[in-house]
Amino acid sequence: MRIGIAGAGAVGCHYAAALLSSGADVFLLARGEHLEALRNQGLVWESQGRRRVLSVQATDDASLLRSCQVIVLACKLTQLRDMLDQLAGCVAEHALFMTLQNGVVAPAWVTEHFPDAPVMAGTAFIGARLIGPGRVLHTAAGGIRMAVWNAPARKDERVTVLLGMLQRAGVPVRLEKDALSMLWRKLLWNCGFNAITAITRRFAKDIAACGETARVAREAMREAVGVASAMGVCGLSDEDVRKHMEVTLAMGPVKTSMWQDLERGRPTEIDYINGQVVRDAQSLGREAPVNRMLVALMHAMEGRS
C-alpha cells in the first residue's frame, strides 16, 4: 500500500522517514527549496540522537498522488483548504484520507471536499521542525492517535493496514473510539501552550515549570474543557489538564508550531486553536477570557488589528 504525505513539512517528513525506514512505500508532496533538497540530497532526519539520510520520492505535482491508496494530510490547518483544492481530481477514487492538523475542523473540511471518501481523524503529539531545506529535527514524542470520522472509513480495511504500518515503523499509535473527543483533547494542550510559547519564546516545559505561566496554561485548558463539555463532547475533564501539565514537564525542547510560524512571518493557527474556544464559547453564551487574551496577543504579534 502506497502512502502519500500531502504537505510534507517537518511533521509529514518525520512520519515519512519512520515509515521509509520500515520499508513502506511513501510519496511526498512538497514544494520550493525543501522539495529541491529532498530530490537532490534526500531527507536528512535527526531523531533520538541519530542522523539518517533517506532517499525519497517527492514531487510538487499533486496528480502523481493518484497512485496512493492513503493520503496523509500533514500541512498546517491554515494551508489545508488550498491543499484540498490542489488534490481535487488528483487522487485515486475513494482514497483513504487521514488528517494530522491541529484544531478540530480538518476532518469536516476533507469531507466537504471529498464527500464519498473515507476519512480518519488523527492527532500527532510531536516536537519536530525543519532546520533547513530537506532537514528535519525530531525533538520530542511522536505518537499518533487516530479515529474513524465518517461511515466510509468504518469498515475500510486500509485503516488496519495503516495502523500496522505505523506500528512496524516504531510510531506509537492508538485507535480511539471517539474522533471529536480525541481532537478536543489535543486542542486542550494547544490552547494551553502553543500561543504562550510563541509569545514568550520559551519552551513548553519551561512554561509548565513556572508558577504564573503554568496558571495561565491551566486556565486556558480549563476554559476549553468547559466549552467542549457544554457542546456535548464526551470524556474531557480536569484530569486531562493535569495529564497535559505532567507530560509537558517531562518534554524535550519543543518549539511549537505558532512559535515557528511567527519566526518565519507566516500566519499562525491561533484562530483555529484558542480562537475556536472563544467562538464556541460565544455561541453558548459563555466567556473564555484567557483564550480571548491569547488570541488578542497573537493577533497583535502578527500585526493584525
**Per-position pLDDT tens, the chain of length 305:** 999 999 999 999 999 999 999 999 999 999 999 999 999 999 999 998 899 999 999 999 999 999 999 999 999 999 999 999 999 999 998 999 999 999 999 999 999 999 999 999 999 998 899 999 999 999 888 999 999 999 999 999 999 999 999 999 999 999 999 999 999 999 999 999 999 999 999 999 999 999 999 999 999 999 999 999 999 999 999 999 999 999 999 988 888 999 999 999 999 999 999 999 999 999 999 999 999 999 999 999 998 86
Bridge-based pairing of strands 173-175 and 2-6 is unpaired
| pLDDT of the residue at 253 | 85
Give SS3 for 17: helix
CA distances for 294 relative to 200, 205, 213, 301, angstroms? 12, 18, 12, 11
Model pLDDT, residue 219: 98
46 CB contacts (<8 Å, ≥6 apart)?
A: 52, 131, 135, 136, 137, 138
Q: Which three cell numbers stand for residue 248?
A: 509537558
Q: 180-301: CATH homologous superfamily?
A: N-(1-d-carboxylethyl)-l-norvaline Dehydrogenase; domain 2 (1.10.1040.10)
The full set of domain ranges for the chain reads 2-177, 180-301
CATH architecture of 2-177: 3-Layer(aba) Sandwich (3.40)
177 burial class (0-12, 13-18, 19+ CB within 10 angstroms)?
Answer: exposed
Do residues 275 and 104 make contact, with C-beta atoms less than 8 angstroms apart? no
pLDDT of amino acid 305:
63
pTM above 0.75, yes or no: yes
| Pairing of the two strands 50-54 and 43-47 | antiparallel
Contact 259, 201 (CB under 8 A): yes
- Number of Cα atoms under 13 Å in the Cβ half of residue 235: 11
